Amino acid sequence: MVLCKKCGADNPLGRVFCGSCGIRLDLSNLSSDDMAAKKSSIPLMKTLLPKILPVLVVLLALPVALAAWPHMQPLGKKGSKSGSQRVAGTLQAMTRIGRGASLGRDFTEADINGYFEFSKAKEMDAESVSIRVGQGYFTVRVVRIIGPLKLGSVQLRPRVSQELVCVPAGTRVQVASASVGHLTWLGPFRNSVASRIYRMVSAQPEWSVFQNLSEIRAEPEKLWIGVKKN
C-alpha cells in the first residue's frame, strides 16, 4: 500500500493519484519489495494480451479466408474444340449481317464453355472462364491467378474466383448476384465484381455483335441470342 502524505489514506500499489483526495502520490520511497509487489499486481490481461492477440486475429480472419476460398471447378458442361469453332463461326456470321437484317441462333452451354476454354480464357487473362445456363438465368465463373505476391523470400500466386448470376431481360442482362469465392458481395462490392467481368468480356473483338442485340433468352443448357442491325 502507498500512504498519502496529505490525507493519510492508504492506496493500492499501481495507483498514481490518491483515491481519497486526488493529490499525486509520492512513490519515491517505495522499497524494492514494494516495486516487486507493484509489478506482480499488473492485471493478467495486460500480460497475456500480446500473446493472445495474434491468435484472435487469426480466428477472426479465418472465416473470411474460408468464405473467399476460390471455386476451382468450371461450371456447366465441358466443351470441345469443335464446339469452340461453332461459336466462333456463328459470331462471325452475326457480325456480317447487313443493315436491316436480323439473325438469331442457339448456343449450347457446352459449346460456349468450349469457346472460352480453347479460344478466349488466355486472351481474357484468366485461368478458366465457364458458364452454366438454367431456365431464365445463367451463371458465369472466372478463375484468375493474381500476383505474384511476395511473402518474405516466398512468391505466392493465389487464385481467385469471381462469379455472376445473370438474368436476361429483353436486350439487357441484369446481375442478380455476385460472389468472390464462397463469399457473396452486395451493393458497390457486387458492382465491382460485375464491372471486372464486363471489362474482360467487352474487350474482346466479338463484343461488337452484342451492340446489335435484339434479344437474349436463357433455357436449360442453352442461350438464344438474336441480333438486328439497324
**Reduced to 3 states, what is the DSSP secondary structure of residue 127?**
coil
Q: 55 pLDDT band (50/70/90 cuts)?
A: low
Instruction: Answer yes or no: are the C-beta atoms of 167 and 173 closer than 8 Å.
Output: yes
HSE (side-chain half, CA atoms, 13 Å) at 195:
7
Choice between 14 and 38, residue whose per-residue pLDDT is larger:
14
Report d(CA 35, CA 47) in Å as an integer.
17
Q: 47 pLDDT band (50/70/90 cuts)?
A: low
Against a cut of 0.75, is the pTM above it?
A: no
Give the helix/strand (H/E) hosting 47: helix 44-67
Strands 172-180 and 137-145, sheet pairing? unpaired
Q: 210 pLDDT band (50/70/90 cuts)?
A: confident
Q: How high is the pLDDT of residue 182?
A: 81
* CA nearest neighbour of 179 among 33, 166, 78, 32: 166
% of the chain with per-residue pLDDT over 90: 39
